[in-house]
Structure formats: C-alpha cells, structure tokens
Amino acid sequence: MSAFLGLEVRDVTKSFQGGTVVDNVSLKVPQGQLVCFLGPSGCGKTTLLRIIAGLESASSGRLFVDGRDVTNVPVEQRNFAMVFQSLALFPHLSVAENIAYSLRLRGMDRASRQARVNELLDLIKLPGIAHQSVEKLSGGQRQRVAIARAIAQEPLLFLLDEPLSALDAKLRDHMQVELRMLQQKLKITTILVTHDQREAMTIADRIVVMANGKIQQVGAPIDVYRNPANRFVASFVGQSNLLDADVLNDTHVRVLGEVLPMSKIPRGISRNARVTVSVRPEDTRIERVDAVDAAGSNGTLPGEVTFVRDLGDLVELRVACQGKELISVGAPGQWPDIRHAERVRVRLPADAATILAS
Ligand code: ATP
C-alpha cells in the first residue's frame, strides 16, 4: 500500500495538569492543501499546531509525513516553517537578510541568494524593498516578509498561527486573499490556525472545526457552512437561527407552536424526538402580514420586527417570534419600507433548514 502523501495526525492527545486540551485527534492534511484549524479561544488549536511543529510533545499519539513517522524527530530536523501572530523578524537585519537567513544557513552562494530573495519579493508583491530595514515596514509588509522568509526554506509543511490577527480588518481581508493566492500558486502543504470563520472560509481547502480539544467537523468550507454537524458548528461557522423543534412525522416539525414542513429530516429520527432546526439568516423569508392570506400563512412563524440594520451591501432584520429572536439577512432594497415594530411572518424554507440532534 502506498503511503499517504501529506501530514497525518493519529490519535493525538495532550494533557496538562489542568486537564486534556487536545483529545484524541486524528486528521489528514493532503499534500498541497491548506487546512484551517478553526475554533474559539482555548479549544486547543494552538497546542495541536505546536505538537505538529515539534515545539510541544504529545501525551500520546503519532505524527506522520508522507508515511514517515516524525513523532520523535526534533523540531530543527522536521523542515517545517512557522509564522506566528507575534512576528519574530530580526529587527537589526534588512528585508533581504531576513528572507535569506535560511538560505545562508544552507550554504547557498551570494548570487543565488540574491536571485531567490528578489523572486520571493516579487511573489509577495513587494519588489524593490530588499535593502530596507524591517523596522520601517508597515504591519502588512512585515507579515509578508515573514511569510517570504518562511517560504524561502522550502518547507515540507507551512504552519501559521493567527498570522493576520494583529492587522486591521481591511488589511487582514486583503492579506487573506493574497495568502490564499500565494498558497495556490506554490502548493505548499499548509496549516493555518484561526478563530475567524471568515478567514477560514476565505483561505482553506478544508476546515477542521474544534471545540474543547475535540474535532467537531472536518470538511470543505461551504459544506461545513451548509451542513453543520451540530449546534456548535452551526453557530460558530457563520450565523444561524437555532430553534428547538419536535419531529411530528417524516416531513413536518413543530417549532414555536407552528407546524412547519421540513424536507431534510434525517432517517432514523423518531416521531416526537426533540431536535434543533438550524436556518441561516439568508435562507429565511420575510413576508408582510397584510400580503399573506390565511392559507399562505401556513408554515410561517408570526413575529414583530425588533431591529432593522441597513449596511448598504445587505439588510439585516431581527424578528421576535414567541420570545425567540430570529435574524434575517437580505439583499439591498429587499425590504424598502419595513419598519421597527412591524408585524411580519418568517418563512423557513423546507429545503434550507438543517435538522440537528439536540
Ligand atoms: P487561543 O486562540 O486563545 O490561543 P487555542 O484554541 O489556541 O486558544 P490553546 O492555546 O491550545 O488554545 O490552549 C488550550 C488550553 O490549554 C488552554 O486552556 C490553555 O490554558 C492550556 N494550555 C496551553 N498550554 C499550556 C501549558 N504549557 N501548560 C498548561 N496549560 C496549557
């Protein structure tokens, strides 16, 4: 059998005195892919990354790269490159000297080093700054230089821990797109740790959602978004309306006292089971009460608008239905004259809702 190409984490657990922070994690990162570890603060994603890097040893479990067991290979022999949130560029060196650091250690001659540095500066879209001091660079430029310095090593694995979180929102958004395009061009096997679901969805081929040291779900970003495995994933990856529901039969549930049709009730869920219905804000439909006749109101939740927010590129409504607040998001101009305190009906389209075990 040929070896799996890429990184394999097998049954890794890490316990500190305070408890278990990585709990029996197994996952594969195929060669050339970018995988994001996504989860809230304290879920264990940094500890898992540090174990992969070799900066921390696992309490149990093993790591393989291209089928080779690297569990006990010391950090300096793994040939993994790392970029962290708190950058560690050498402040007294120029941009070129920073990037060429690993090339010099490898004994590359001066002319080849220069050529490689210029190539990498082109790649990170910062040509012509080779001789600048790194202290004069902006936050975004520094981060790009750190990435170039890491790439210069030609690492087997590229590990990034919240690399963009110190940047302001606009620059972070820009850098996410750049980092993704760079990784697609170079096809370096990469793991990026983030708590920002938007960043994960921008950058990743696959997302590993973590909570309490455990993997909650692994999948392509849009699959995770569309088909969350549980309540935690539904609320952490994007926004979701989560509603308690009782299953009535194969096609209907009762939510907030109303009978609603649902087309995705999984087989095997018994009648009367308590479940959670998860509906994304953009999937909800808002109907004016005066525009809905008695028959047409079936399958909707009556409510009252409590908040309207027009952000220009989208409009958000909050609607109180039987004491439960639902969020609805629509295109600009979708509800031109909807007002606070207006009575509406919220339709949850039968095929858009995901049914989760409670
Ligand atoms: P953050 O985004 O805040 O860094 P995280 O998901 O990356 O969060 P970790 O940094 O992996 O989480 O930490 C997970 C838990 O492990 C935390 O409760 C942390 O306090 C604990 N922890 C991490 N390192 C150690 C250590 N060396 N000794 C004891 N506990 C630790």
Task: Examine the domain organization and report whether 38 and 177 are in the same domain.
Answer: yes
Q: Please report which residue ranges of 124-256 form alpha helices under DSSP H.
A: 139-152, 169-186, 197-203, 221-226, 231-236
Q: Indicate the pLDDT class of residue 297, thresholds 50, 70 and 90.
A: low
Task: Examine the domain organization and report whether 287 and 217 are in the same domain.
Answer: no
Task: Examine the domain organization and report whether 197 and 259 are in the same domain.
Answer: no
Where a domain ends, among 216, 233, 250? Answer: 233
pTM for the full model?
0.90
Spell out the residues 6+ positions from residue 19 whose beta carbon is closer than 8 angstroms to its own: none
On the question of pLDDT at 293 being above 70, the answer is: no
User: What angle in degrees, to the nearest 10, is found between the helix axes of 110-123 and 169-186?
Assistant: 120
Q: Indicate the pLDDT class of residue 1, thresholds 50, 70 and 90.
A: low
Q: How far is the CA of 44 from the centre of ligand 1 (A)?
A: 6
Where a domain ends, among 188, 216, 233? Answer: 233
Q: Indicate the pLDDT class of residue 39, thresholds 50, 70 and 90.
A: very high
- Whether 157 maps to a domain, the answer reads yes
- Nearest 5°: the CA angle 165, 171, 172 is 35
Which ligand 1 atom is nearest residue 162's CA?
Answer: 2
CA distance 121 to 119: 6
For the ranges 87-91, 120-124, 235-239, the one whose mean pLDDT is highest? 235-239
Q: What is the pLDDT of residue 86?
A: 66
- What count of Cα atoms within 13 Å lies in the side-chain half-sphere of residue 92? 0
- Whether 277 maps to a domain, the answer reads yes
Per-residue pLDDT of 343-357, as tens digits, reads: 999 999 999 999 998
For the chain, the C-alpha Rg in angstroms (whole number) is 25
Q: Which two tokens stand for residue 183?
A: 């990784």
Task: Examine the domain organization and report whether 280 and 220 are in the same domain.
Answer: no
Task: Examine the domain organization and report whether 227 and 79 are in the same domain.
Answer: yes
Residue labelled with tokens 């060429």: 100
- Whether 221 maps to a domain, the answer reads yes
Over pLDDT 70: what percentage of the chain? Answer: 97
The number of folded domains in the chain is 2
Task: Examine the domain organization and report whether 62 and 176 are in the same domain.
Answer: yes
Task: Examine the domain organization and report whether 163 and 215 are in the same domain.
Answer: yes
To test the ligand 1 pocket, which listed residue (12, 16, 23) has its Cβ within 8 A of the most ligand atoms? Answer: 16
Q: What is the pLDDT of residue 253?
A: 94
CATH of the domain at 207: 3.40.50.300
Task: Examine the domain organization and report whether 172 and 251 are in the same domain.
Answer: no
Q: How far is the CA of 145 from the centre of ligand 1 (A)?
A: 27
CA distance 279 to 199: 22
CB 208 within 8 A of CB 49: no
- Ligand 1 binding pocket, CB closer than 6 Å: 16, 18, 21, 39, 41-47, 195
Per-residue pLDDT of 250-272, as tens digits, reads: 899 999 999 999 988 888 888 88
- Whether 35 maps to a domain, the answer reads yes
Amino acid at 166: A
Q: What is the pLDDT of residue 139?
A: 81
* Secondary element (H or E) of residue 54: none
- Whether 204 maps to a domain, the answer reads yes
To test the ligand 1 pocket, which listed residue (12, 14, 20, 21) has its Cβ within 8 A of the most ligand atoms? Answer: 21
Task: Examine the domain organization and report whether 75 and 177 are in the same domain.
Answer: yes
Task: Examine the domain organization and report whether 227 and 249 are in the same domain.
Answer: no
Q: Indicate the pLDDT class of residue 294, thresholds 50, 70 and 90.
A: low
Q: How far is the CA of 173 from the centre of ligand 1 (A)?
A: 26
On the question of pLDDT at 326 being above 90, the answer is: yes
Which ligand 1 atom is nearest residue 39's CA?
Answer: 6
CATH of the domain at 255: 2.40.50.100
Where a domain ends, among 205, 233, 261? Answer: 233
Average pLDDT (215-233) is 96
Task: Examine the domain organization and report whether 244 and 176 are in the same domain.
Answer: no
Calculate the average pLDDT of the chain: 91
Q: How far is the CA of 58 from the centre of ligand 1 (A)?
A: 14
Task: Examine the domain organization and report whether 176 and 49 are in the same domain.
Answer: yes
Per-residue pLDDT of 57-108, as tens digits, reads: 999 999 999 999 999 999 989 999 988 876 678 888 899 999 998 888 888 9
CA distance 327 to 80: 43
- Whether 1 maps to a domain, the answer reads no
Owning domain of residue 253? 239-357
Residue nearest atom 11 of ligand 1, based on CA coordinates: 44
- Whether 196 maps to a domain, the answer reads yes
- Whether 249 maps to a domain, the answer reads yes
